Amino acid sequence: MSVLQPVRGTHDLLPDEARRHRLVEEIAFDVARRYGFGEIITPIFEFTEVFSRNLGETTDVVSKEMYSFTDRSGEGLTLRPEGTAGVARAFISGGLSQHLPLKLFYRGPMFRYERPQKGRLRQFHQLGVELLGVEGSQADVEVIALAAHILEALGLKDNVRLELNSLGDAASRANYRDALVAYLSGRKDQLSKDSLERMERNPLRVLDSKDESDRQVVADAPLMQDYLNDESRRFFDEVQNGLAAAGVPVTLNSRLVRGLDYYCHTAFEFTTTALGAQGTVLAGGRYDGLIGQMGGPATPGIGWAAGIERLSMLFAGEAPVVRPLVLIPMGTADAAVGLAQRLRHAGFTVETGYSGNMKKRLARANKVNARAAIILGEEEWARQAVAVRDLDSGEQEEVPLAALEDRLSRFR
C-alpha cells in the first residue's frame, strides 16, 4: 500500500516551520496595530462571481487558476485566490460604509492552481491590508510606509526594494490605453496568442506578460508616465514626497502596471533577489473603482498583500521555542494530573512523563529541551513537597508545594 502524500502544491507546516510562520504573522499584525489597523476574517470560499466579475474574466487567476466547484445546492463557489475581493464583499454586505475610513488587516490561506515552485504553492498563505474611504495621497503613503515598516521589523529592509509607478486617473489611463493599443496593433505578428487576446479585452495586461517575445515588444512600448494629466502628476508627486518624509526609499518603475480598470494612481511592489531570480515579496495599489463595480457605494481604497511563505523564507529572526517543565510522577500519577493543571493555570508550560523509569523519563525531558524536571516521589509527596531538578545545571532541591510557583518563576 502506498504511503499517503500531501496533494501536489500543498505543504504541511510542521511545528518548527509553523512557529516561524506564526511569528511572521504576529510581527506583521503587531506593526499594523500601531498604524490603527484591525483584523478582519473573511470566509475561505465565496460565490464565484465575487472573484470572476471583479478580478476580470481574462486574467490568468480567473481563467486558469481558480479552484471553483458547484456545491450540493447548485451554487457556484470558489476557494479564495486572493484577499481584497472578499474584504470588499464584506464591506458591502456588512454595511460598513458608515464606518469610514476603515483600516483592515487580514491573513490566511489562499488557493490557486498554478505550477508549484519555490515560495509559490497551490495552497499558500497571505497577509495584507486594505485602507478604505480615503481619497487623498496620505492613504497611499501610510499603507506603503506600513509595508516598509513590517519588512524592516522582519529584518528584510536590506533585502528588498520598493518599486513605484502611477497608473493615473481614469482619463490618463484612457489616453494611455489608446496609445498602447496603437503601438501593439502594428506588432501583432510578434505577440503571443494570450497577448493578442489581452490586447482586445485588456491591453495593459500585455505589459505583464512573461512570454519572451512579448517582453521584447513591450520594451519599446509607450510609457504611462508620458500620458499622466496634471492632476495625476500632482497626486504621484504627493505620494513620492510623503514617502521621502517617512524615510522610505523609492525606485521608480515605469513598467509596473495593474491591468484591471478599477486600479488607478499608485501601484507598487517590494521586490527581492534574495530568493534567486528577482521576485515580488509584497505588492499593492489603489483601487478606487472596485467597490462601486461590485455594487457597493463608490469608495476609494488602497491595499497590499504579501505571501507568508516567501516572508518566512526571508525572515532573519528565529521563532522562540518555549522550554517546558517536565512533570515526572513516580507512583503518584493522579497527584501529577492535578499538579500539572495547577501549574498550567499559573502560566507554566508543562509536559508529563507518561511511562518508564526515572532514567528514561529524564532522557525524554532532555529530548524536548525541558528547562527543569519536577519529580513527584511518594515520600516527598507525603511531606507535601516535590523535587525540582534544574536540567541545565543538574542541581536539585526539595520544594514545598505551597511555594512551588514562586520557586519555579525563574524557569519561565
Residue 55 has pLDDT above 90, yes or no: no
- The interaxial angle of helices 137-153 and 230-245, nearest 10 deg, is 40
What pairs with residue 311 in β-bridges? Answer: none
Q: How many CA atoms lie within 13 A of 134 on its CB side?
A: 17
Give residue-wise pLDDT tens across range 250-291.
999 988 888 677 889 999 999 998 877 668 999 999 999 899
Distance in angstroms (rounded) separating the CA atoms of residues 223 and 228: 10
Phi-psi region of 252 (alpha: psi -120 to 50; beta: other; left: phi over 0): beta
3-state SS assignment for residue 135 = coil
Question: Given 3.10.290.10, 3.30.930.10, 3.90.230.10, 3.90.1150.10, which CATH number is that of 15-169+229-314?
Answer: 3.30.930.10
pLDDT of residue 278: 61
Residue 153 has pLDDT above 90, yes or no: yes
3-state SS assignment for residue 248 = coil
- Higher-confidence residue: 160 or 333? 160
Distances (CA, A) of 16 to 278, 318, 321: 27, 10, 9
Considering 32-41, 181-190, 219-228, 387-396, the range whose residues carry the highest mean pLDDT is 32-41
Distance in angstroms (rounded) separating the CA atoms of residues 146 and 221: 33
pLDDT of residue 200: 81
pLDDT of residue 110: 96
pLDDT of residue 255: 86
Q: How many CB atoms within 10 Å of residue 255?
A: 14
Closest by CA to 145, choosing from 252, 266, 27, 244, is 244
pLDDT of residue 324: 93
pLDDT of residue 199: 83
Type of residue numbered 92: I
Type of residue numbered 164: L
pLDDT of residue 391: 93
Considering 234-238, 318-322, 332-336, the range whose residues carry the highest mean pLDDT is 234-238
Residues of the chain with CATH 3.30.930.10: 15-169+229-314
Residue 181 has pLDDT above 80, yes or no: yes
Q: Are strands 350-352 and 325-330 parallel, antiparallel or unpaired?
A: parallel
Q: How many CB atoms within 10 Å of residue 113?
A: 14
pLDDT of residue 1: 62
Closest by CA to 299, choosing from 288, 283, 308, is 288
Place of cell 523564507: 313
Distances (CA, A) of 213 to 61, 190, 210: 22, 6, 9
Per-residue pLDDT, averaged over 359-368, amounts to 86
Per-residue pLDDT, averaged over 59-76, amounts to 83
Q: How many CB atoms within 10 Å of residue 400?
A: 13
Report CA dihedral (302, 253, 31, 316) to the nearest 10 degrees.
Answer: 150
Q: Which residues contact 125 (CB under 8 A, 6 or more apart)?
A: 21, 107, 108, 109, 110, 307, 308, 309
Confirm whether pTM is higher than 0.95.
no
Per-residue pLDDT, averaged over 6-12, amounts to 90
| Maximum Cα–Cα distance across the chain | 94
pLDDT of residue 146: 98
Mind giving me the DSSP string for 28-47? HHHHHHHTT-EE----SEEE
Residue 41 has pLDDT above 80, yes or no: yes
Distance in angstroms (rounded) separating the CA atoms of residues 329 and 380: 11
Residue 63 has pLDDT above 80, yes or no: no
Residues of the chain with CATH 3.40.50.800: 325-411
The answer to whether 385 touches 337, Cβ cutoff 8 Å, is no
Burial letters 337-370, b for 16+ CB under 10 A, else e: eebbeebeeeebebebbeeeeeeebbebbeeeeb
What pairs with residue 305 in β-bridges? Answer: 128, 283
Superfamily for domain range 325-411: Anticodon-binding domain (3.40.50.800)
pLDDT of residue 59: 59
Numbered residues of the known binding site: 82-84, 112, 126, 130, 258, 262-263
Mean pLDDT estimate for the chain? 90
Residue 131 burial by Cβ neighbours in a 10 Å radius (0-12, 13-18, 19+): buried
Considering 13-17, 139-143, 216-220, the range whose residues carry the highest mean pLDDT is 139-143
Phi and psi at residue 254, in whole multiples of 5°?
-70, -10
Numbered residues of the known binding site for L-histidine: 82-84, 112, 126, 130, 258, 262-263
Per-residue pLDDT, averaged over 385-407, amounts to 94
Distance in angstroms (rounded) separating the CA atoms of residues 107 and 150: 14
CA triple 332-333-334, angle to 5 deg: 100
